Chain A
Amino acid sequence: DGGITQSPKYLFRKEGQNVTLSCEQNLNHDAMYWYRQDPGQGLRLIYYSQIVNDFQKGDIAEGYSVSREKKESFPLTVTSAQKNPTAFYLCASSNHKASGYYEQYFGPGTRLTVT
């Protein structure tokens, strides 16, 4: 079954703890993205990576960190510095080198609750 997987589906953490969200894809896509989805604010880009061992900050990177050691994997760490971490997190990937059609494929999401 090809696609993007995110785990876990639900995650609960205490304030002050770092937490890592998993994102894996077997689509052989070069680019991967992390978004945060909040009601009334749409999807906001946290970090993105266009190639292995390289990544860039998105619009709301503060309090988050990522790594891209493998093409298939792009984990997101929500650190204790993130002031409002409770949200729904979406991972996506795309084959940006393909000519013609461009599309981002999304994972099922992880709902993080920090109390």
Chain B
Amino acid sequence: AQRVTQPEKLLSVFKGAPVELKCNYSYSGSPELFWYVQYSRQRLQLLLRHISRESIKGFTADLNKGETSFHLKKPFAQEEDSAMYYCALRGTGNKLVFGAGTILRVKS
């Protein structure tokens, strides 16, 4: 089965605090994972992909095949990080399987 699980519906942190958005996946094979973000009144957009091993807006995510996880992290949250975050897995047929999403709320 191809599945993505984001256990937290809402994560609320204070500005300057570390952030970790959890994502676990189920996939037989070599996974390709992504984080998408949807800011208020903006369209859904790609934040980062694991194969790039990049850091975007201070966010990083490491693929842990042993734990089947792809958690999104940022050391110091900013108010502009408040958004809906989706973890996604590239499945068969060039489809994306999305998790349920986590709302990140950064409080001042």
Contact = CB atoms under 8 A, between A and B. Distances in A.
Interface string B17-46: 000000000000000101000000001111
A104 B99 contact: no
Contact of A58 (B46, B94, B95): B95
Interface size class of A (residues with CB under 8 A): 20 to 34
Interface residues of B, number: 21
Contacts of A94: 94
Among A31, A42, A96, A103, chain B packs the most CB atoms within 10 A around the CB of A42
Contacts, number: 50
B78 to A, nearest CB: 23
A58 B5 CA distance: 19
A7 to B, nearest CB: 14
B51 to A, nearest CB: 8
Contact of B95 (A41, A48, A106): A48
A42 B96 contact: no
B64 interface: no
A102 B101 contact: no
Given A107-B43, A108-B43, A101 B49 contact: yes
A56 interface: yes
A43 interface: yes
Given A42-B101, A43-B86, A101-B52, A106 B43 contact: yes
B99 A96 contact: no
Contacts of B95: 33, 45, 48, 58
Interface in B48-99: 49, 51-52, 86, 90, 93-96, 98-99
Interface of A: 31, 33, 35, 40-45, 48, 50, 56, 58, 90, 92, 94, 96, 101-104, 106-109
